[in-house]
């Protein structure tokens, strides 16, 4: 259970503060929506770089140093973020956010590969990340306007996960030679990488201003945290049920239900009405994420590299989505942005299903469903 505890605590420490970042930028520093999107894009750019570099490095040089280094650096960056709230301007705050983005990409691929090698079921393992995210959102929301203490709390969670990681056994590590740019691996996993890129770009167009959207329909900081927690804890429940299903089937279900979920966001008029949509969102992401992880890890010996590229693909979406989302929110409003994301999720499903049809895997899935 040590790897699950690290997943739980590190997710709480890293993702809990996400709900207060747009609020701090807008209310404390007077940032516009497009500037908020630009900063989120820069953070994702650094996560993209570090996920790619250190995912490969975990296969080449070993996972222990990547895991420990990433956790302790993420904790130190969170302490620095607290200082930026107290004594810095928007430039200092944004620079530390970018630093956290880089640090947060160092260790996840190493941790995932370690768990896979230890025969941990990916659905169950991933569920602890969602539970940590839910705890982080819920507890960070309770800090209210005491943003600096929220970041100290996050740092303590990350340092606790580092302490647990010190006691993990790394006795069965197999190091391998991986090209700096693994073309064959990328081609082998292209369907899931491309679909994730399209869907997640649209999703990040929503998430960059999602706390502000929730505030616009009446949610206070405590309710925003609770609404995020419904999604996260819903993922925890659903992910524990998914290991029995075919990975490609899970990806297809996740993409299709994402489009449906985003559409339901446009129908709400009050913050409490969005709670059922959060449950549907939890199911959509649980299927997509667990399916994508198992898709790339089952098919590749270079497991940390494959998952690192998957994380990098999500980070590219985190670069494009916030920038486009900030501009779209300014031009079309929150619900106009959500409709664009809905169309993109539907397009990602079409891309993935077409590749399944072209490769013949669609017929294999039909045979499995009949069986």
**52 is a domain residue:** yes
User: CB of 48 within 8 A of CB of 200?
Assistant: no
Nearest in space to 221 (alpha carbons), one of 139, 278, 288: 139
pLDDT value at position 154?
Answer: 94
Q: What is the pLDDT of residues 243-297, one digit of tens each?
A: 888 898 899 999 999 999 999 999 988 888 999 999 999 999 999 999 998 998 8
Please give the Cα distance from 49 to 77 (Å, whole number): 17
User: Cα dist. 328→16, 267, 293 in Å?
Assistant: 25, 18, 30
Answer whether residue 44 shows pLDDT above 70. yes
Answer whether residue 366 shows pLDDT above 60. no
* Between 76 and 24, residue with greater pLDDT: 76
pLDDT band at 171; cut points 50, 70, 90: low
**133 is a domain residue:** yes
E strands, the chain, are none
Please give the Cα distance from 264 to 277 (Å, whole number): 6
Three-state secondary structure call for residue 107: coil
**255 is a domain residue:** yes
The stretch 61-78 carries a mean pLDDT of: 92
**130 is a domain residue:** yes
**173 is a domain residue:** no
pLDDT value at position 371?
Answer: 43
Location of structure tokens 């409490």: 272
The stretch 346-353 carries a mean pLDDT of: 93
Q: What is the count of structural domains for the chain?
A: 1
pLDDT band at 67; cut points 50, 70, 90: very high
Percent above pLDDT 90 for the chain:
36
Mean pLDDT, the chain, whole residue set: 86
Q: What is the pLDDT of residues 128-149, one digit of tens each?
A: 988 888 888 788 877 767 888 8
Percent above pLDDT 70 for the chain:
93
The CATH number of the domain holding residue 239 is: 1.20.1250.20
Nearest in space to 279 (alpha carbons), one of 178, 130, 168: 130
Greatest mean pLDDT range, 53-62, 157-166, 224-233, 299-308: 157-166
**172 is a domain residue:** no
The stretch 305-329 carries a mean pLDDT of: 85
**312 is a domain residue:** yes
For the chain, what percentages of helix, strand and coil (3-state, to nearest 5) are there?
A: 85, 0, 15
Find the distance separating the first CA and the last CA of the chain, reported in whole Å: 34
Please give the Cα distance from 353 to 86 (Å, whole number): 50
> Residue 24 belongs to what domain range?
2-167+180-370
């Amino acid at each position: 259970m040590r790897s699950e505890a690290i997943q739980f605590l590190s997710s709480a420490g890293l993702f809990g503060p996400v709900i207060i970042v747009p609020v701090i930028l807008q209310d404390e520093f007077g940032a516009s929506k497009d500037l908020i999107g630009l900063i989120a894009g820069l953070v994702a750019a650094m996560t993209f770089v570090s996920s790619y570099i250190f995912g490969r490095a975990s296969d080449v040089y070993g996972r222990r140093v990547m895991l420990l280094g990433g956790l302790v650096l993420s904790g130190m960056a969170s302490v620095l973020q607290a200082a930026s709230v107290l004594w810095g301007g928007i430039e200092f705050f944004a620079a530390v956010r970018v630093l956290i983005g880089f640090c947060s990409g160092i260790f996840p691929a190493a941790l995932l590969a370690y768990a896979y090698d230890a025969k941990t079921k990916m659905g169950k393992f991933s569920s602890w990340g969602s539970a940590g995210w839910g705890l982080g959102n819920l507890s960070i929301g309770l800090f209210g306007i005491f943003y600096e203490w929220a970041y100290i709390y996050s740092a303590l969670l990350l340092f606790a996960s580092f302490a647990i990681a010190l006691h993990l056994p790394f006795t069965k590590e197999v190091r391998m030679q991986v090209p700096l740019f693994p073309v064959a691996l990328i081609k082998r996993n292209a369907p899931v990488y491309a679909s994730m890129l399209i869907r997640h770009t649209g999703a990040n167009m929503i998430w960059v201003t999602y706390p502000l959207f929730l505030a616009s329909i009446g949610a206070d900081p405590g309710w925003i945290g609770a609404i995020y927690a419904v999604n996260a804890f819903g993922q925890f429940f659903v992910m524990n049920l998914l290991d029995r299903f075919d990975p490609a089937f899970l990806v297809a279900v996740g993409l299709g239900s994402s489009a449906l979920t985003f559409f339901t966001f446009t129908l709400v008029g009050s913050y409490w009405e969005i709670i059922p949509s959060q449950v549907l969102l939890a199911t959509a992401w649980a299927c997509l994420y667990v399916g994508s992880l198992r898709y790339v890890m089952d098919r590749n010996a270079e497991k940390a590299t494959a998952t690192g590229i998957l994380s990098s693909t999500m980070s590219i979406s985190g670069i494009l989505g916030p920038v486009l989302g900030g501009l779209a929110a300014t031009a079309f409003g929150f619900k106009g942005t959500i409709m664009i994301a809905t169309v993109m999720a539907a397009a990602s499903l079409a891309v993935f299903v077409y590749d399944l049809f072209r490769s013949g895997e669609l017929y294999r899935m039909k045979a499995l469903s009949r069986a």
